[in-house]
Homo-oligomer: A and B are copies of this chain.
Amino acid sequence: MARRNYIFDTIRSVYALYGFRQIETPAVEYLSTLMGKYGEEGDKLLFKILNSGDFKAGVTPEDYATQGPGKLAARFCEKGLRYDLTVPFARFVVQHRDELQLPFKRFQIQPVWRADRPQKGRYREFYQCDADVVGSNSLLNEVELVQIMDEVFARLGIRVSIKINNRKILSGMAELIGAADKIVEITVAIDKLDKIGLDNVNAELRSAGLTDEQVERLQPIIALEGTNADKLARMHEVLQATESGVKGCEEVAFVLQSLVDAEGHSLLRNEVEFDSTLARGLNYYTGCIFEVKALDVQIGSITGGGRYDNLTGIFGMEGLSGVGISFGADRIYDVLNQLDLYPDTTTTSTRLLFINFGATEAAHCLRLANQVRSAGIPTEVFPDSAKIKKQMSYANANAIPFVALVGENEMQQGVVSLKNMTTGEQQNLTIDEVIAAVRA
């Protein structure tokens, strides 16, 4: 939890610095809200909660005998555990539409549940850390979200590349080669370039029904080279006949331009890269899309997001545009572990342990401990007058950096014998000197 809190607190404080407000939604949602939002596979992965009381009411033994588990589950259960934070957020926005001041900037850090087979990197309960702005079409929101991603990883000390693309560019590419109806297949195939290589992508494009000529025409814009400006210029040129392609290029250009100052210096500490192969799996994205990759660890995307134009439409509220990002806390946790990037203070809570030499000494130490705590230093008094060795091993096991030994002699002299557990050094100090030493 200490390590997880370090990640959550970092993300939370950056979100707050940009004026996002935290909300939480209940773990339990109506299944009518959740079903049909995550595809057929997703529906199967929803945890369903048995109705309280007489859940059998209305389901006859004949129904039971003749209906399948899917249908019966829907009759036995009206509630389920949330699967992500996006759908509950859309439900929240629609429900509170009359109270919300638009644009509404919210962030949400909560667990979600999936009835999956647990395996490495895939859990049945895990945290999502989302931020979204709804009710504003402005690209300044995209700019801000890139800044937020940059700031979070700068604070965590993880070197990353922030990739940006635009769904309209992908539409333009499909339109250009006369395959606008195959936009989904093209997107899915191109998205795999990193993993399977160009030849396999092309094979997949062909098996999706593109002609050799169509695949050929895609080549120069799949694998663009050069600076962001070079790549954008080339893409703009190729796509100039498609309205959507031009719009996409302009949007990306605006975001990139807004991320440099008047002298052309980047406002970011990490690199941002225009990547025309970035597609993002989820089909509800309609504008800019983002993905963040760690430079020093081989792991998938550790953050992603984008603009969607009709998230609340599924709940009957049309025309509300939104843009959001989601930090993958579990993968970030893995990256920080692998690179050993946690600050020392993250895993130490207690800074000072008073050894317990018996009732009289403990009563004295209790008061000294209060003084140290008043200075804001997490402090413990070992509760039992156990063997010194046991108490010392407690300090070691809990990575407590300082131990205070106050026996009869020290009490009489009004001093504390302070032991530095790292260096082994031990010296007699006043309580004020102890506070200064532990704080340093």
Which residues of A are in contact with B by a Cβ distance under 8 Å? 1-2, 4-5, 16-24, 26-28, 44, 47-50, 52-56, 61-62, 64-65, 69, 72-73, 76-77, 81, 101, 103, 105, 111, 113, 115, 124-125, 133, 136-138, 140-141, 143-144, 147, 258, 261-262, 267, 349-350, 353, 356, 362-363, 366-367, 370, 373, 376-381, 383-384, 393-394, 397-398
Contacts and interface: CB of A to CB of B under 8 A. Distances in A.
Given A27-B81, A141-B383, 10 more contacts: A1-B21, A2-B21, A2-B22, A17-B377, A17-B378, A19-B379, A47-B49, A47-B50, A61-B62, A101-B397
Contact of A137 (B1, B349, B384): B384
Contact of A1 (B1, B24, B124): B24
Contact of A383 (B17, B50, B138): B138
Contact of A50 (B21, B76, B137): B76
B367 A262 contact: yes
A28 B47 contact: yes
Contacts of A370: 147, 267
Contacts of A362: 140
Contacts of A55: 69, 72-73
B125 A28 contact: yes
A146 B64 CA distance: 55
Nearest to A381: B140
Nearest to A54: B69
Nearest to A140: B383
Contacts of A18: 373, 378-380
B394 A115 contact: no
Nearest to A394: B101
10 contacts: A1-B23, A1-B24, A5-B22, A48-B50, A53-B69, A61-B61, A101-B393, A103-B383, A105-B380, A258-B366
A350 B53 CA distance: 46
Contacts of A53: 69
B101 A398 contact: yes
B69 A28 contact: no
Contacts of A76: 50, 76
A54 B20 CA distance: 42
Contacts of A72: 55-56
Nearest to A137: B384
B101 A261 contact: no
- The listed residue with most B CB atoms (<10 A of its CB), out of A53, A140, A350, is A140
A55 to B, nearest CB: 6
B27 A113 contact: yes
Contacts of A356: 138, 140
A73 B61 CA distance: 15
Closest 9 CB pairs of A and B: A138-B383, A19-B380, A61-B65, A19-B350, A101-B397, A1-B22, A52-B115, A140-B383, A136-B383
